[in-house]
Amino acid sequence: MATQRPPEPPTPPPGPGGGSPEEPLSEAAVIAMHSDPRFLALKKSLFSFVFPMSLAFMAWYLLYVLMSAFGRDVMGTVLFGSVNVALVFGILQFVSTFGIAILYTGYARRKLDGPATALRDELQNGTTGKEGNR
């Protein structure tokens, strides 16, 4: 009885620089990337979205927890039928989580994806920003 080998997984198409998108950067490229002003600008842009949004969400969540612990009368207020304020707060936690994810997706598309892809492709090709601008 002959044994069959499992089929080979398809190879991903090459990226714009000739290498696959999953191809790791060389050590020199990683070092060059960390000092590249474009990379630093990308980090700053990411931080300018993530930090305030994280603070806002944590404050919103903390309000929910504190109201559940110390504002039981308010949270127990029936709005209609068997729906109370606590249930609405809880559902709004999920809504705000999905809302933040949607906002981040749009932000990343507009401000991060293009420059990050260009920088990655340049580094995968073996050039750095300083060499590529000469």
pLDDT in tens, 79-88: 999 999 999 9
Residues 84 and 76 sit within 8 Å (Cβ to Cβ): yes
DSSP string, the chain: -PPPPPPPPPPPPP-TTSS-TTPPPPHHHHHHHHH-HHHHHHHHHHHHHHHHHHHHHHHHHHHHHHHHHH-HHHHT-EEETTEEHHHHHHHHHHHHHHHHHHHHHHHIIIIIHHHHHHHHHHHHTT--HHHHT-
| Residue 133 banded pLDDT, cuts 50, 70, 90 | very low
Is the pLDDT assigned to residue 90 strictly greater than 90?
Answer: yes
| Residue 10 banded pLDDT, cuts 50, 70, 90 | low
Q: pTM of this prediction?
A: 0.66
| Residue 32 banded pLDDT, cuts 50, 70, 90 | confident
pLDDT of residue 106: 95
pLDDT in tens, 94-123: 999 999 999 999 999 999 999 989 888 887
Residues 119 and 36 sit within 8 Å (Cβ to Cβ): yes
